[in-house]
Amino acid sequence: MSAQRSELLILQSLLDAPSAGDGSPGIVSGTTLANALGMSRVAIWQHLEKLREQGFTIESLHARGYRLAARPATLHATLIDAYRHPGPDAPRIHVLDTVDSTNDEASRRLAAGQPAPFAVLARRQEKGRGRFGRVWQSATDGNLYSSFAFRPDVEPARMQTFTLWMGVNICALVASFCRTAPGIKWPNDLLFDGRKAGGMLTEARMDADRIHDLVFGLGLNLTPPPQGWHPELVTVATSLSEHTGRPVDANKFAAALVGRVLDAYAKFLDGSYQKTFADLWNGYDLLRGRAITLLQGTRSLSGTAVGIDDEGSLLVRLANGHTDRFRAGEVTFSKK
Ligand code: BTN
């Protein structure tokens, strides 16, 4: 068994150990761990030392065993897997300390032939990108910079609603995790009370007939920057912890996110997503009924957003009474 697999099983045993009921972490004996992993107690002790070096506080209690008193706050691949309970063939998660952009890293790995799906998460990005080539501020640890790589091998037209479907899934996940739901501003912004908490960037390599590979990138603010938001962002950005008033466990959230994204992707590919997509969209859509301005390059038009069509295009009722559909563009709320 690889060292990483052993550490994963040890972590899972420690996390799953029943608490005494006073809220303190459960205790697992060295013998139980040794039997479960089929290795000596000395080997278990060595793995525990390795975990301690990685930021886990594992207490030894004389004649009783071990307990997990504290875990790393920053993203940790094995801890994410310990929460996720992946099977042996489950998609891999790569956690990097610093990378240019998780989307670029995922794309490079796809180009090098790495089996998909897989996920790339980073604690920091040096060239985080948003839509229209904008910079996505990614200097601080504690947020989620994540990319998911797929090889869908379907016609490009089938992917038109992909980002929107992923977006409603992220909203539903955040709603269940934080007990407060963000909304989605077509096509890719996740907002709490009008402030942006996250954004999605889907990039694909395709020809006229097929999508060869696809990277779904999600940036989600879990905490505000330690020095506060940049003056330009102070009125427009927010984070999950600011909105809920509670810290968000980045590793637990990442584990839930990976599960949700993989499940959403499977439903998208087999078409079963169509059963729930419209209802979910209508539940999280922030634009419906709102006066908006849509910017497409240098062209700008105003109207009332009235939903999306089957292809994910935004429907806008214009002043002349016609409803037009728009496949791309940037939306702002019009002043009343
Ligand atoms: C946007 O709102 O314009 C989209 C932002 C997408 C940011 C994420 S962070 C992870 C992934 N890597 C990137 O470089 N961009 C996406």
- Residue 308 CA to ligand 1 center (angstroms) comes to 23
Q: How far apart are CA 108 and CA 127, in angstroms?
A: 15
0.85 exceeded by pTM: yes
Please, which residues have CB within 8 angstroms of residue 109's CB and are 6 or more apart in sequence?
A: 94, 118, 120, 149
Please, which residues have CB within 8 angstroms of residue 281's CB and are 6 or more apart in sequence?
A: 164, 168, 184, 307, 308
Compute mean pLDDT per 10 residues along the chain, 336 residues long, and list them.
Answer: 89 91 88 94 95 96 94 94 89 96 98 97 97 90 93 93 98 94 97 96 94 97 90 92 93 97 97 96 97 94 96 96 96 85
Q: How far apart are CA 224 and CA 221, in angstroms?
A: 7
- Residue 149 CA to ligand 1 center (angstroms) comes to 14
Report the candidate in 125, 75, 55 with the shortest Cα–Cα distance to residue 257. 75
Residues in the chain: 336
What's the confidence (pLDDT) of residue 213? 96
What's the confidence (pLDDT) of residue 264? 98
Q: Is residue 182 within 6 Å of ligand 1 at its C-beta?
A: no
- Choosing from 75, 103, 236 the residue with most ligand 1 atoms within 8 A of its CB, the one to mutate for a pocket test is 103
What's the confidence (pLDDT) of residue 50? 96
What's the confidence (pLDDT) of residue 336? 62
Q: Is residue 238 within 6 Å of ligand 1 at its C-beta?
A: no
Report the candidate in 110, 16, 241 with the shortest Cα–Cα distance to residue 94. 110
What's the confidence (pLDDT) of residue 289? 97
Q: End-to-end distance of the chain based on CA atoms, in angstroms?
A: 63
Whether cis (ω within 30° of 0) applies to the bond prior to 187 is yes
In terms of Cβ atoms closer than 10 Å to its own Cβ (0-12, 13-18, 19+), residue 209 is: exposed
Whether cis (ω within 30° of 0) applies to the bond prior to 225 is no
Q: Give the DSSP letter string of 286-333.
A: S-TT-EEEEEETTEEEEEEEEEE-TT-PEEEE-TTS-EEEESS-EEEE
Q: Is residue 199 within 6 Å of ligand 1 at its C-beta?
A: yes
What's the confidence (pLDDT) of residue 208? 87
